[in-house]
Amino acid sequence: MSVRGIRGAITVDANDGQQIASATLEMVKDLVAQNELDPADICSVLITVTNDLDETFPAQSIRQLEGWELVPLMCALEVPVKGSLERCIRVMVLANTEKSQAQIRHVYLRGAQALRPDLAKSK
């Protein structure tokens, strides 16, 4: 079994707590489903937001998921590079898995598909 990093990103239309929470859940649930993860196998999750999203902590919504009570979650601000994608939530999930690096499915949704078009495959 190896520890693998799994990336995810999603954008929201506005700096709205409900939009941030629901988009975060959409992205995390998709990432977990596509990679067949059990929360008990997740080592930790780093969540970043762009500096234009400050209405809520994305980790707060993840903590409401069943089985995620003990998963270490950390929120941070994304590096504010001029001209970068706005209103974006990103995650880096570190998980124990039998999957090879090539089998990992990274999840880029909505406007975040522009970040990694090579990995943002249609379902």
User: Residues within the annotated binding site for prephenate?
Assistant: 7, 90, 108
Active site residue 110: no
Distance of CA 23 to the CA centre of its chain: 9
Active site residue 78: yes
The answer to whether the CB of 90 falls within 8 A of the CB of 53 is no
Pick the catalytic residue: 7, 66, 86, 110? 7
Active site residue 63: yes
- Indicate the residue type of 117: P
Dihedral-angle region of residue 93 (phi above 0 means left; psi in -120 to 50 means alpha; beta otherwise) = beta
Pick the catalytic residue: 43, 63, 86, 98? 63
C-alpha distances out from residue 37 to 5, 26, 28, 84, Å: 12, 15, 11, 30
Pick the catalytic residue: 4, 87, 88, 90? 90
How far apart CA 38 and CA 61 sit, in angstroms, is 17
Distance of CA 84 to the CA centre of its chain: 17
Residues in binding site: 7, 90, 108
Pick the catalytic residue: 36, 43, 86, 116? 116
Active site residue 98: no
Pick the catalytic residue: 4, 78, 87, 88? 78
Pick the catalytic residue: 75, 86, 88, 110? 75
Active site residue 4: no
* Catalytic annotation, residues: 7, 63, 75, 78, 90, 108, 116
